[in-house]
């Protein structure tokens, strides 16, 4: 989808025209040509629309016919950004059903809860997601719309439209990575694709092989990897947008390209375990957006990519492993592998780059999936201000977060008589304990752990979201870094 700004409607007849209307107000247009065309066909029309009600009409325009997509909107509704994105998603579905290639969007003067640039950033970030498809392995491909959208707006909104488009593209990049098959998106292939994205968008990528990780003492990461026939890859991305002396923001994403559970083999849903690298996908997508927008902040991101498989060489329940940090870990459960790989990734980031803060993201535990469902992710912060900054982004990102308790009693449950830490202690608070386990490797760096839970993938299609990967987390990480450019 390509967006352009125009001051008024041209002489061509678009396939569709979008107009947001105030609820319970008569149909009106900001563009005089549209108003004249409508009045000529519907003189004295009393049509009004309720909130998010969509009405479709055919209208003669510029010696042709267009389809009007009229949608009511109440700017006083609670959580208006959420409602606006939902309205845009439904419009995207309608455009797909029409097969529209050329679209005109009238001015958003009837939507008043935010300024025009913010609204158009949401338009450009949300509407293109209706075109997303992952049909690589289908014999019959889904239609490609190659849609051009002309927006009636001030030229000062061009940057907002471009930013929204970049974010939509980056979300789709993350979706592609999550949806790809595990026998295709191996650790080596994930590293290769990351390198290609870095070359395209301008961030650097370094890839460490098994030998380099052994030299660094990454005992946790390599233990998880040792049951797979596929070689692990440790991926380091860097964007140097700030001053050379400025410490970077560090991002760590879970990169388990397939998770069988190891010797604690999973009992169900193994067909969906190619999604287990969704944290890595979010981090990679965010780095694409950060570099494309040339944010003036230094950022480093790390992904410890491997498979967790069953083999004669697999690490065992009951093993004691030594981490890169020097701490030892008792492996109670080989299916609690993501936290092991990310612990070494965190140590690498902290000791190599000395970041100002570290954000680690993963779809990590069934505990969070069960507790929060498909509404929000969960986060544990060592500094309340970090969580507040993330939670404060929910309006513009649509990505919601609930705060885990940071009570020190949970840390006591990580103790083991066999090692410094237990990777999956009994006690029921699995999501919280996973966060505290990872917090043990921050070495004093301000830290936010995010468990995406069920948010990175869906088994049910909806407007703007087919079944599969969602790209959750990309917008949060991007906007977090953007706001930190000012503070």
- DSSP class per residue in 30-72: SSHHHHHHHHHHSTT------TT-EEEEEEEETTEEEEEEEEE
DSSP string, 168-187: HHHHHHHHHHHHS-TTTS-H
CATH class of 2-166: alpha beta
Q: CA angle, corner 112, sides to 106 and 114, nearest 5?
A: 100
In a structure prediction context, what are the per-residue pLDDT tens digits for the chain, which is 487 residues long? 999 999 999 899 999 999 999 999 999 999 999 999 999 999 999 999 999 999 999 999 999 999 999 999 999 999 999 999 999 999 999 999 999 999 999 999 999 999 999 999 999 999 999 999 999 999 999 888 889 999 999 999 999 999 999 999 999 999 999 999 999 999 999 999 999 999 999 999 999 999 999 999 999 999 999 999 999 999 999 999 999 999 999 999 999 999 999 999 999 889 989 999 999 999 999 999 999 999 999 999 999 999 999 999 999 999 999 999 999 999 999 999 999 999 999 999 999 999 999 999 999 999 999 999 999 999 999 999 999 999 999 999 999 999 999 999 999 999 999 999 999 998 789 999 999 999 999 999 999 999 999 999 999 999 999 999 999 999 999 999 999 998 7
In the chain, DSSP finds a helix count (H) and a strand count (E) of 15, 19
CATH class of 185-484: alpha beta
Please give the model's pTM, rounded to 2 decimal places. Answer: 0.97
Beta bridge partners of 274: none
Place of tokens 């049910």: 460
Residues in contact with 416: Cβ distance below 8 Å, sequence separation at least 6, in sequence order: 330, 422, 425
Report the distance separating Cα 189 and Cα 192, nearest Å: 5
Residues in contact with 298: Cβ distance below 8 Å, sequence separation at least 6, in sequence order: 238, 239, 240, 241, 242, 243, 246, 247, 248, 249
For residue 324, what are its two tokens? 């890169």
For residue 436, what are its two tokens? 């505290």
CB-based contact 460:391 (threshold 8 Å):
no
**Residue ranges of the domains in the chain?**
2-166, 185-484
Catalytic residues: 266, 339
Q: CA angle, corner 53, sides to 48 and 59, nearest 5?
A: 65
């Amino acid at each position: 989808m390509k967006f352009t700004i125009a001051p008024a409607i041209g002489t061509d007849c678009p396939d569709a025209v979008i107009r947001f209307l105030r609820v319970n107000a008569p149909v009106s247009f900001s563009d005089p040509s549209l108003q004249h065309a409508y009045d000529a066909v519907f003189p004295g029309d009393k049509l009004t629309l309720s909130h998010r009600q969509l009405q479709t009409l055919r209208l003669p325009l510029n010696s042709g016919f267009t389809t009007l997509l009229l949608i009511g909107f109440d700017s006083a509704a609670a959580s208006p950004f959420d409602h606006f994105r939902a309205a845009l998603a439904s419009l995207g579905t309608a455009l797909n059903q029409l097969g529209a290639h050329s679209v005109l969007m009238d001015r958003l003067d009837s939507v008043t809860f935010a300024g025009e640039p913010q609204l158009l950033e949401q338009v450009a970030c949300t509407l293109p997601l209706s075109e997303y498809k992952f049909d690589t392995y289908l014999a019959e491909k889904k239609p490609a719309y190659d849609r051009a959208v002309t927006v009636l707006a001030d030229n000062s909104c061009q940057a907002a439209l471009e930013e929204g488009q970049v974010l939509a593209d980056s979300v789709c990049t993350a979706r592609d990575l999550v949806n790809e098959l595990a026998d295709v998106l191996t650790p080596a292939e994930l590293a290769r694709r990351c390198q290609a994205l870095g070359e395209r968008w301008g961030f650097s990528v370094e890839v460490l092989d098994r030998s380099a990780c052994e030299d660094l003492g990454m005992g946790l990461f390599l233990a998880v990897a040792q049951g797979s026939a596929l070689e692990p890859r440790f991926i380091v991305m860097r964007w140097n947008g700030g001053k050379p002396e400025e410490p970077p923001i560090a991002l760590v994403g879970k990169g388990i390209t397939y998770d069988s559970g190891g010797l604690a083999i999973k009992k169900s849903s193994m067909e969906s375990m190619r999604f287990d690298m969704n944290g890595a996908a979010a981090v990679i997508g965010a780095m694409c957006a950060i570099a494309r927008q040339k944010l003036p902040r230094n950022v480093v991101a790390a992904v410890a990519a491997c498979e967790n498989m069953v083999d004669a060489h697999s690490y065992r329940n009951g093993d004691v492993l030594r981490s890169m940090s020097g701490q030892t870990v008792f492996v109670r459960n080989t299916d609690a592998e993501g936290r092991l790989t990310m612990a070494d990734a965190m140590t690498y980031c902290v000791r190599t780059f000395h970041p100002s803060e570290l954000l680690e993201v993963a779809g990590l535990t069934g505990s969070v999936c069960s507790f929060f469902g498909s509404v929000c992710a969960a986060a544990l912060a060592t500094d309340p201000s970090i969580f507040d900054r993330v939670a404060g982004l929910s309006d513009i990102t649509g990505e919601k977060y609930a705060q885990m308790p940071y009570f020190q009693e949970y840390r006591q449950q990580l103790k083991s008589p066999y090692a410094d830490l237990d990777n999956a202690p009994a006690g029921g608070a699995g999501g919280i304990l996973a966060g505290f386990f990872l917090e043990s490797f921050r070495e004093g760096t301000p830290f936010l752990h995010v468990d995406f839970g069920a948010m990175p993938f869906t088994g049910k299609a909806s407007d703007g979201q087919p079944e599969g990967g969602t790209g959750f987390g990309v917008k949060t990480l991007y906007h977090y870094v953007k706001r930190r450019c000012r503070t």
